[in-house]
Structure 1
Amino acid sequence: MSDSINSKSVPRSVLIFGAAGHIGRPLADFLQREAPQIQLRLVSSNAERVGALRRDFPFAEVVFANYFDLPSLESAAQGMEGFFVNAPGGTDERPAMTHLVAALKKAGTAVHVLRTVGLQPEANPRRIPQPVREGKVGLPMQHPIVKQILDESDLPVTYLNLGATFMDNFFWMKEGLTRERKLIWHNRLIPFVDPRDIAEVAGRLFLSDNHRHIGQFHTLNNGHDLMRFSDVAELMSEVFGEKITHDGRKESFLQAYSQQLGPIASELWEFLEYERANEVVWARNDFVERTLGRKPVTVREWLQEHADLLLK
C-alpha cells in the first residue's frame, strides 16, 4: 500500500472514560453531533453518577467501570473500537493502565486509543524534586508510567499531551476574583487551552482515517497564549473593565486553597515551583489549530464568555 494512502479505520463505537468531566462531556456531544452513527458508551467510575449521565446522554449507553476493578473494565471494553482514556490527578497509574491494557487486549477490538497525559516534553524524571515525586499531584511521575505501559502494549495509542493549563481552572480562582477582584495563583509561565477544544481534537482524531497519528505524542495548546498569571490579571482588567490585581505569594496561595484542597495545596505549590524551574520548555504550537481547521479559543475570548460567572 502506498504510504500516501490513509489506512486507519474510523471506529464504529467509542468508549469515553470520564464522560461527566470537562473533556469527556463535550467529546460525547461532538461525536453525537458530527457522527451520530457511532455507538457511544460512556463510563463513570462513580456509581451515583450513572443515572445522571443516562439522563444527560439519552443517545448513549452508560456503564460503571473502575480502573482498579478489572472485571468492570473488561465488561466496559467488550466490543468497542475507540477508547478515550482520561484519569484524574492522583491516580495510581501502574495498576490502572495495567488493568486497562489487559481489558483492551482481551476485547481485541481496539482500532484507536486516545490517552491524555500532562508532561513537560522530554522532562528527565531524575530532576524532579522529592516533594513533587512523593506528592499526590503526581503527574511528573505517574504519566511517564502511563506512556511506558501503553508503549509496551502495542495498542493503537495516540497521546494527547495537555501541555497547557485549562482555561476553566479560572473557576478555582473565582472566590478571590469575586471577593477582592484579585487573581490568586502562582505566577507560572504556561500556555493555555480550552478543554472544549481538546474534546474536539479528540473527536476529530477518532474520525480521521490518517494512520500516522497512531503512536504519536501530540502536545496541545491554543497556539496563542503563553503568559504568566500576572499577565492574565492585566488581561482580565481589560476584558472586565475593572482593575484585577495578581497575588502570587505562597502564603496567599495556601490561605486561598488549603480549605478547598487540603494538604494537596502545598504539594500543588511545589509542583508549580518545579514547573517554573523548567518553564523554558513551553512553546506555542499549531497542532490544535490544524486539527480543528480553525483558530482555537483564546484566553481573551474565554474570559469574555465567562465574565459574569467569574465575577458574580
Structure 2
Amino acid sequence: MILITGATGHVGRPLVDELLAAGHKVRALSRDPATAGLPDGVEVAATAELPLDGVESVFFVMAAFPGGSAEPIARMKAAGVRRIVALSSYSVLDDDPKNMIAVKHRELERQIRETGAEWTFLRPAGGLAATALEWAGQIRAEGVARFPFGDAWTAPVHERDIAAVAARALLTDELVGEAPLFSGPETLTYADRARIIGEVTGEPVRFAELGHDEARQEWLAAGIPPHAVEARLRMFTTMVGRPHAISPVDPYLGRPGLSFAQWVADHTDKFRKGTS
C-alpha cells in the first residue's frame, strides 16, 4: 500500500493518477474525505487519522500537516514504513537562517533521515507553475495579473513532472537516497508568465507591477503568514534581472519537462472569463 499525503493538492492529485495507472494500491489522505473527489479504486482517509496499517511507502507533503512534520513522521517510523518520498525544496541549499522555507525543509529532511527508512527528497527548482493560479480571479475579472516583480526570473515546474518523478521514486529503487533537483524547461519572468497565459487562453492579459507595500498587504490579506510574506519579498528581490538556471528533469523522466504554456493549456478553465 502506498500512502499519499496532500492527495488533493497540486502534486498529490496527479500522483494518485500515476500510481493507479501503474496498478498500485493507493490510500489518499484528505482533510475532508467526503469532498476529496478522488477516482474510484482509491482508499480515501482523513489526514488527521493518518492510518498507516499496511503502508509500505509514503509520499509526504509538509503542507498537509500545519501542526508540523515531527509527529506524523514519528508515527511513520513507529509503524515501520519502509520508504518515504518527500516533497522538499531546492531552497535547502541556502544556509541563510532568515530563509524560513529552507530552514523548515532542512528540518523535514533531517527528521526523515533519522527514521532509518529509505528516502528520496524531491527538490523542485524554479517555482511551481501552479503559483500562477494566484492570478486566476483577477485575470478572469479584469484581464490583469498583478505582481511586485515583473522582471524576476523563474523556471516554472509543471506539477505533473513532479508527480512523475515522485512515482519513479516510489515504484523503483533508482532514486533511493537521492535528492533530485530539477526545474522547468525554460526561464521566464513573471511578466512572461502573464503574456503566455493570454496567448494560450486567447484572452490577452496585462501585467501590472505592484509596489512592495501593496504586495505585502495583498499577500497578508490572502492569509499568507507575515514571516512568509517577508521571505517572499527577499527571495524575489534576488531573482530580478537574473535568468534562472535550468536543471533538466530529463535524467529522471527520460523526456523534457513540460512547458509553462502546456501548464496553462492544462488549466485554461481557471483563467478564461465566465469560468471559475
Say yes or no: TM over 0.5. yes
Question: What does 1:1-312 align with in structure 2 at a 5 Å threshold?
Answer: 13-34=1-22, 36=23, 38-44=24-30, 46=31, 49-53=32-36, 56-66=38-48, 72-73=49-50, 76-88=51-63, 91-93=66-68, 96-97=69-70, 99-110=71-82, 112-126=83-97, 128=98, 138-187=100-149, 188-210=152-174, 213-222=175-184, 224-241=185-202, 243-249=204-210, 250-254=212-216, 256-259=218-221, 261-262=222-223, 264=225, 267-279=227-239, 282-286=244-248, 288-312=249-273
Preserved CA contact (<8 Å) 2:91 2:101: no
Cα shift readout 1:32-79 (whole Å, capped 9, x = no counterpart): 112x1x2211122x2xx22334x633312222233xxxxx44xx2222
CA RMSD of aligned residues (A): 2.7
Residue segments in structure 1 that go unaligned for 5+ positions in a row: 1-12, 67-71, 133-137
Aligned length: 268
**TM-score by structure 2 length?**
0.84
More helix by share: 1
CA distance, structure 2, for counterparts of residue 200 and residue 148 of structure 1: 24
Tell me how far 1:117 sits from its aligned partner. Answer: 1.4
- For structure 2, list consecutive stretches of 5 or more residues without a partner in the other structure: none
SS at match of 1:159: strand
Identity of aligned residues (%): 22
SS of the residue aligned with 2:232?
helix
TM-score (norm 1): 0.75
Structure-1 separation of matches of 2:5 and 2:269: 31
* Largest Rg, 1 or 2: 1
**Secondary structure, aligned partner of 2:63:** coil
